């Protein structure tokens, strides 16, 4: 082989090696994930208005609101150690019950013995960034651990309705910054994986946290099937005269299409 040809092959091999290493170092990912969540609801609410202190009440036991299941959709992407995602979730609960005690809600009093129709709706947007502190490909089938910065924006409305007072509504909205950690463990090559993450914050009597863990199987390339558990806590202390202690906790299933 001529020297010039050998040099050309060496240069080509070097460039190929650099390209492969760069691709591994800055691996690119993008995808969409759909969830269906089956949470158990625990919720107490109180709404003040016009200088009147509202009544704290249990939405399930006193208003007859039951559990529901909800979809979520998440779009994600990442380059190397940097991962981004946006998730949207919408909750809607309703109840219909004759109350056994008087409830002051947003300045109006629903007297005992009144039939009350109730609605609780929350729209939630999660914008998340994760940076991997550790990314160890040689442990099991891969292990990574990262720090999370997150903004959870929620926009909600609670309403009570009776024939005497009509519908009385109160809205609340707030962006909540959170910090946390996330971990990913490959259990069996690229077929079986586990992940877990938690983020939260507490201030001025309010507490917010959101955590999930799941195991996923990859039956076909670019397709993951998940089964997991998620718990979310929203303790709201005087956001626009709204006080709430809400917990959503339960299993979920998810489907990911990613590249």
pLDDT tens per residue across span 158-206: 999 999 999 999 988 889 999 999 999 998 877 899 999 999 999 888 9
Quote the pTM value: 0.85
Residue 15: pLDDT above 60?
Answer: no
Per-residue confidence at 28, pLDDT binned at 50, 70, 90? confident
Which pLDDT does position 174 carry in this prediction? Answer: 86
Per-residue confidence at 21, pLDDT binned at 50, 70, 90? very low
The pLDDT tens digits of the residues spanning 50-79 come to 889 999 999 999 999 999 999 999 999 999
Which residues, at least 6 apart from 216, have a Cβ–Cβ distance to it below 8 Å?
Answer: 192, 193, 194, 195, 224, 225, 226, 227, 254, 256
Residue 247: pLDDT above 70?
Answer: yes
Choose among 191, 77, 183: nearest CA to 141.
191
Mean pLDDT of the chain: 89
Residue 95: pLDDT above 80?
Answer: yes
Assign a CATH topology to domain 29-258: Lipocalin (2.40.128)
| Region of residue 59 (phi > 0: left; psi between -120 and 50: alpha; otherwise: beta) | alpha
Other beta carbons within 10 angstroms of residue 168's beta carbon come to 19
Residue 251: pLDDT above 80?
Answer: yes
Mean predicted confidence (pLDDT) in 91-97: 96
Cα dihedral sign for 50, 240, 158, 201?
negative
- Which residue carries 């109840």 as its tokens? 95
Residue 18: pLDDT above 90?
Answer: no
How many angstroms separate the CA atoms of 252 and 153, rounded? 21
Long-range contacts of the stretch 210-216 (C-beta < 8 A, 24+): 210/126, 210/150, 210/152, 210/178, 212/252, 214/252, 214/254, 215/187, 216/192, 216/254, 216/256
The structure tokens listed for 204 are 């001025």
Measured in whole angstroms, how far is the alpha carbon of residue 59 from the centre of its chain? 22
Other beta carbons within 10 angstroms of residue 90's beta carbon come to 14
């Amino acid at each position: 082989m001529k020297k010039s040809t050998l040099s050309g092959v060496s240069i080509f091999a070097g460039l190929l090696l650099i390209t492969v290493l760069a691709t591994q170092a800055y691996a690119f990912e993008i995808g969409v994930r759909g969830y269906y969540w089956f949470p158990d609801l625990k919720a107490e609410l109180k709404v003040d208005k016009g200088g009147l202190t509202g009544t704290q009440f249990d939405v399930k036991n006193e208003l007859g609101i039951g559990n529901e299941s909800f979809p979520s959709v998440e779009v994600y992407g990442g380059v190397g150690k940097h991962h981004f995602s946006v998730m949207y979730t919408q909750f809607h609960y309703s109840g219909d019950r004759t109350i056994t005690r008087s409830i002051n809600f947003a300045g109006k009093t629903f007297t005992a013995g009144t039939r009350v129709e109730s609605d609780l709706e929350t729209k939630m947007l999660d914008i998340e960034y994760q940076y991997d502190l550790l990314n160890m490909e040689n442990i099991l089938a891969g292990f990574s651990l990262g720090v999370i910065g997150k903004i959870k924006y929620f926009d909600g409305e609670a309403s009570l309705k009776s024939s005497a007072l009509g519908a009385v509504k109160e809205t609340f909205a707030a962006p909540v910054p959170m910090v946390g950690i996330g971990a990913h463990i490959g259990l069996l090559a690229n077929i079986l994986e586990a992940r877990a993450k938690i983020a939260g914050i507490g201030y001025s009597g309010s507490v917010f946290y959101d955590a999930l863990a799941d195991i996923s199987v990859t039956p076909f390339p670019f397709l993951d099937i998940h089964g997991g558990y998620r718990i979310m806590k929203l303790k709201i202390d005087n956001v626009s005269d709204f006080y709430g202690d809400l917990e959503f906790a339960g299993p979920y299933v998810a489907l990911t299409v990613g590249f």
